[in-house]
Structure 1
Amino acid sequence: MSETIPTERGSACPFNHGAQANPGRTGSGCPVSRRAAEFDPFEDGYQQDPPEYVRWAREQEPVFYSPKLGYWVVTRYDDIKAIFRDNLTFSPSIALEKITPTGPEANGVLTSYGYAMNRTLVNEDEPAHMPRRRALMDPFTPEALRHHEPMVRRLAREYVDRFIDDGKADLVDQMLWEVPLTVALHFLGVPEEDMDTLREYSIAHTVNTWGRPKPEEQVEVAHAVGKFWQFAGKVLDKMRQDPDGPGWMQYGIRKQRELPEVVTDSYLHSMMMAGIVAAHETTANATANAMKLLLEHPQAWRDICEDPGLIPNAVEECLRHNGSVAAWRRLATRDVTVGGIDIPAGSKLLIVTSSANHDEHQFADADLFDIRRENASDQLTFGYGSHQCMGKNLARMEMQIFLEEFTRRLPHMRLSAQRFSYVPNTSFRGPEHLLVEWDPAMNPECNDASVLKPRSAVRIGEPSAHALSRPVVVTSVSRETPDIVRVRFASPDGRPLPRWTAGSHVDVECGATGISRQYSLCGDPDDAGAFEIAVLRETESRGGSAWMHDNVKVGAQLRIRGPRNHFRLDESAKKLILIAGGIGITPISAMARRASTLGIDYEVHFSGRTRASMVLLPELAELHGERLRVYVSDEGTRNDFTALNVENGTQVYACGPVRMLEALQEASAAWPDDSLKVEHFESKLGALDPANEHAFEVELKDSGLVVVVPANQTLLEALRKANVDVQSDCEEGLCGSCEVRVLAGEVDHRDVVLTKGERQSNTRMMTCCSRAAGRKLVLEL
């Protein structure tokens, strides 16, 4: 590709036709495909549903050039995350550039207002960006955001009070625009001005930057943007007279005294204007999108009404499935390859984050709206890396509180018939109106005043996997051995259960005991109608297995979490040796079934005290025939692990008693590295003892931050305190959820997830328990 890409929208094709002619794509020899040539983000299809509009690209042509826009368009998750990760190659400098150049008259209007929008946190390059981000970040940490929660709750209640007896409302006009704006102004320290005027200003800013105003509209938009600029300047001047106020802008003014070369006058003025839009409009749109999505999925709405504990993850799934940020823009600073496509220096990129959030390679059944989706917080709506949205946790908090208020006071709310419209632009979206209706006579507070009692504090930050429970009903219980029962679950409403893979487990909540226990799934992974587990009554039960045996009957309603898989089968292995002892056969049985389905060479080794105690044995014999080897203690047979033939390309999976696993670990010393993978259900971690620990420093390569981890704090806790998202679940070093990539430094591994070889490679660690062996680590975060 020898020609430089054009920089003006609508310019000629950037390809060298002679070098890359491909008549099969457009018939003219131009390698821009017909679909790419037709791409127009201002069409109604993109405005209504950006991920669906670019589905063809995500599946067939994930990186393409748009002649109409003059941009390269990127649609897949991995490519977009890589672009966010490398903010030197992919400069954010054009993020606030007008995507549609305006005419001289509109430009003159802006000049008349002294409009001089400069760099902000959104569009600033290094080395200036990170010093400013670090200087201004403290008010955005979860700890600092907590004192805003009472105000958000008060506003949510007051606004619902205004229309709860009306039986109908436009949620956008009557609540979801004004409350986030009020919160944004409060956070920034800006006096509450005329809401309608600020709404006009905010919309004008969006249209001016990311929209395509018609020539006759450009002047009107320019006047509104100019007035917005002057408003921001006047408020900032007033703040300078009293810089000790509580807002973020006052915090910035104080920081200017301390770091005048970092926090400059022009920077503060630009951030004032951009901050009002960023802190307000995206949250207003995100909440409107979420309410629309939830009410379009009545079962999901009922689920969060009945179980408010699902709300944090429901917020995350709403942000993934239908977020308020559809796309961002970047500028290639050098020749680079994205998704196998060569892109020249100077190219402009439209990275469609909403498409990435529907990428099947990252999200199973990506188009399915699942409020219990475990990796929903992998969504890129907030961006990623050093330019990730600083206000993400303020937005999460507001959305959770709004959903709590609606679900407890208006659980019978439903969408009214309507056609949804959006402000035409490439990047920010939410319905302009959201009409809902309900029967006021059915308002819960009419008969139950307790509905209005205060709720417990919301979780600020990424949601915990512990909250993702789902109801199931027991459809069968069979006693397989004197000490083992086999239990089959299904959805109460007959809907399919989530797909699972061999090695997966679920957590079962054991009634009112307050405990939950993990049980491997032992049924058929292809059966979407049910989950099956087998439960051994432990002689020294901590309460879980005894409760399961004594209380689980056909028709019983239970709650489970998962399925999750941290014992994943390598389906590319040349050969599989599957070893189980006692109840450890449960995950191994699913692996054997999967190996048989795939045609992988495999063998199953099953040990037990007596044949009568070996659950699933008849079924295994029928399914696997001579591939099954059985060892029974009271028959005098025992598996000799040292006799196993483990060659390169063979993977050994084992689950069973500790003594068996220890013997396997010893035998595996003679096998190829990382041949053995085992499943653990108990952690040997004790409480963190600061007297025996040392503090260390962690550099976050993608985020540009340096975090100090004190001796009395886990790495996971320190990352959360620094406003960095890391998924977690068990927080005992058992599950692998909190794994991060290590780029430099030696790790003191304390988990039971990684193999010996994986530990020695020093490229991964579990943030919940492992620490630095030395004084510093560099992580890919």
Structure 2
Amino acid sequence: MNVEASCVLPKNADTVKLIVQRLSREADGVVSVLLADAEGDGLPEWEPGAHIDLCLPGMTRQYSLCGDPSDRSCYRLGVLLEPAGRGGSRFIHESLQPGYPVLARPPRNHFSFVDADEYLFIAGGIGITPLLPMIARAEADGRTWQLVYGGRTRSSMAFLKQLVAYGDRVQVVPQDEHGLLDLAELLEVPGDKHVYCCGPEPLLAAVERLCSSWPKGRLHVERFTAPALMGHISEQAAFEVECAESGVTVIVRSEQTMLAALLEAGIDLNFDCKEGTCGTCELGLVDGVAEHRDAVLSQEERDAGELILPCVSRARGARLVVDA
């Protein structure tokens, strides 16, 4: 099987040749996938919060690593079947088999796990996956931590058997049994804890709202999709982008993305998802103020004003200067 021929990855991307070792059912609609190096070598290192870009026939999808970072013999992914999705999860659930070769980019991390004395982990559904290695690290380091894990039903919540070992530090809250998570009570007092949250957009938006007055840097979220944009694309204003390195200046039309305009002008850029979730097209922002619409940059990175994801983000004014 010529996996390279069907692969969609950024040009000149580093890749790792993998082979599927095992698929296991973890919950209703969730499987874990164990991947090993195709040549039996040790895999590239990673830290909690990292993901890989997995190349499937005709598509590339991002999945969080949820295994043990110290075990370089394999990567573990947790994949939720999304029937109305773009096809990646359906292929994994219906067609992936042990022995199947796949390509991946080495692990990347936009959800870094910072050193702290106390953590509160909040997971919604498949959002548990990037939190599992963080919980294991916090436990190994002797930190104080708590996990609150919500889902539609108990049978749909993955990795519960793994979490049982942590005892009462894990609170499992199936919606059909207990209703929605009581976020207001959980986040009433900041204390010294850092909050790590991953899950569906309504959960993340609620957590961000409740933590809006907390000290900066205490809340860490990871989105699987970019936040919904306010307004219609036709209402967007055109703006100018100067490329400091190449000397090219382009006009980004109101109905056009900045990435599309740069590519149309012959600027050589890497890109992948075009949805603001993978971070592949990230550029340095030299001048101007960005209207960030991605799911990659942290609030601190946005406030610093030094980066932009041109696939979805735009200018707040008439002009930007980027490092391209």
TM-score by length of 2: 0.82
Distance 1:601 1:710, change over 3 A: same
Letter of the structure 1 residue corresponding to residue 249 of structure 2: V
Q: How does 1:343-382 map to 2 (within 5 A)?
A: none
On the 8 A contact 1:508/1:519 being kept in 2, the answer is: yes
- Residues 716/543 of structure 1: CA separation in 2 closer, same or farther (3 Å cut): closer
- Counterpart of 2:216 in structure 1 is 673
| SS of corresponding position for 1:652 | strand
Matches within 5 A, 1:422-441: none
Task: Report the alpha carbon displacement of residue 589 of structure 1 after superposing the two structures with TM.
Answer: 0.7
The structure number with the bigger radius of gyration is 1
- 1:651 aligned residue: 194
Write the distance in 1 (CA, Å) between the matches of 2:111 and 2:69.
14
Whichever residue aligns with residue 736 of structure 1, its letter is G
State the match for 1:464 in structure 2: 11
Relative distance call for 1:306 and 1:476 in structure 2 (3 A) is closer
How far 1:776 sits from its partner (Å)?
Answer: 2.5
Q: Relative to 1, partners in 2 of residues 1:517 and 1:308: Cα closer, same or farther, differing over 3 Å?
A: closer
Corresponding letter in the other structure for 2:181: N
For 1:486 and 1:644, the matched residues in 2 are separated by 29
Cα deviation 1:78-129 (Å, max 9, x = unaligned):
xxxxxxxxxxxxxxxxxxxxxxxxxxxxxxxxxxxxxxxxxxxxxxxxxxxx
Out of 222, 225, 229, the position equivalent to 1:682 is 225
CA distance in 2, matches of 1:518, 1:692: 29
Matched, 1:544 2:88: yes
In the TM superposition, what are the counterparts of 1:178-257 in structure 2 within 5 Å? none
**Counterpart selection for 2:175 from 633, 638, 654:** 633
Q: Which residue of 1 aligns with 2:122?
A: 579
Question: Aligned residue for 1:662?
Answer: 205
Cα–Cα, structure 1 residues 730 and 598, in superposed 2: closer, same or farther, change >3 Å?
A: farther
Counting only pairs closer than 5 Å after superposition, residues 306-705 of structure 1 correspond to structure 2 as 307=4, 464=11, 468-511=14-57, 514-569=58-113, 571-622=114-165, 624-636=166-178, 638-645=180-187, 647=190, 650-683=193-226, 684=228, 692-698=236-242, 700=244, 703=245, 705=247
1:533: how far off?
1.2
The 3-state SS of whatever aligns with 1:508 is strand
User: Which residues in structure 2 correspond to 1:745-756 (within 5 Å)?
Assistant: 745-756=288-299
Q: Counterpart of 1:769 in 2: which secondary structure?
A: coil
For residue 464 of structure 1, what is the amino acid of its counterpart? K
| Residues 759, 473 of structure 1: alpha-carbon distance in 2 compared, 3 angstrom cutoff | closer
Aligned partners of 1:485 and 1:715: how far apart in 2? Answer: 36
1:739-778 equivalences in 2 (<5 Å) = 739-756=282-299, 758-778=301-321
The structural deviation recorded for 1:587 is: 0.7
1:221 maps to: none
1: distance between equivalents of 2:176 and 2:296?
A: 33
| Residue pair 1:604, 1:629 contacting (<8 A) in 2 also | yes
Question: Shift in Å at residue 580 of structure 1?
Answer: 0.7
Cα distance in 2 for partners of 1:598, 1:544 equals 35
Task: Quote the RMSD (CA, aligned, Å).
Answer: 3.4
- In 2 relative to 1, CA 730–482 (structure 1 residues): closer, same or farther, beyond 3 Å? closer
Residue aligning to 1:169? none
Task: Determine the C-alpha separation between the residues in 1 that align with 2:243 and 2:79.
Answer: 44
Cα deviation digits, residues 25-79 of structure 1 (max 9, x gap): xxxxxxxxxxxxxxxxxxxxxxxxxxxxxxxxxxxxxxxxxxxxxxxxxxxxxxx
Q: Secondary structure of the equivalent of 1:672?
A: coil
- 2:224/2:295 contact within 8 Å kept: no
**Counterpart secondary structure, 1:666:** helix
TM-score, scaled relative to structure 1: 0.37
1:469–1:583 CA distance, 2 compared to 1 (3 A): same
Q: CA deviation at 1:490?
A: 0.9
Query: How far has the Cα of 1:469 moved from its partner?
Result: 4.6
Contact 1:707 1:718 in 2 (8 A): no
Amino acid at match of 2:36: A
Q: Is the 8 A contact 2:66 2:78 kept in 1?
A: yes
- What is the CA–CA distance in structure 2 between the aligned matches of 1:557 and 1:763, rounded to whole Å? 38
Stretches of structure 2 lacking an aligned partner (at least 5 in a row): none
Distance 1:731 1:559 in 2: 20
Cα distance change, pair 678–547 in 1 and its aligned pair in 2 (3 A): same
How many residues are matched?
318
Q: For the residues of structure 2 that align with 1:572 and 1:475, how far apart are their CA atoms? A: 33
Specify whether residues 727 and 671 from structure 1 end up closer, same or farther in structure 2 by C-alpha distance, changes over 3 A only: same
Match of 2:273 in 1: 730
Between the aligned partners of 1:478 and 1:309, the Cα distance in structure 2 is: 25
- TM-aligned CA distance change 1:541 to 1:677, over 3 Å: same
Relative to 1, partners in 2 of residues 1:529 and 1:658: Cα closer, same or farther, differing over 3 Å?
A: same
**Secondary structure at 1:670 match in 2:** coil
Q: Offset at 1:720?
A: 5.8
Higher RCO (Cα < 8 Å, 6 or more apart): 2
Higher helix fraction: Structure 1 or Structure 2?
Answer: 1
Q: Distance in 2 between matches of 1:658 and 1:713?
A: 25
**Residues 375-403 of structure 1 deviation map (CA, whole Å, 9 limit, x = unaligned):** xxxxxxxxxxxxxxxxxxxxxxxxxxxxx
Corresponding letter in the other structure for 2:176: D
Report sequence identity in percent. Answer: 37
Give the whole-Å Cα distance in 2 for the aligned partners of 1:778 and 1:705.
10
Q: What secondary structure does 2:52 align onto?
A: strand
* Structure 2 CA distance for partners of 1:577 and 1:497, relative to 1, 3 Å: same
Amino acid at match of 1:565: N
> Structure 1 pair 764/651, CA: closer, same or farther in 2 (3 Å)?
farther
| Residues 655 and 306 (structure 1), Cα distance of their counterparts in 2 relative to 1, 3 Å cut | closer
Structure that is richer in strand per residue: 2
Show CA shifts across 1:251-272 (max 9, x none): xxxxxxxxxxxxxxxxxxxxxx
Letter paired with 2:297: L
3-state SS in 1 of match to 2:82: coil
Kept after mapping to 2: 8 A contact 1:482/1:613:
yes
Which secondary structure does the structure 2 equivalent of 1:476 belong to? strand
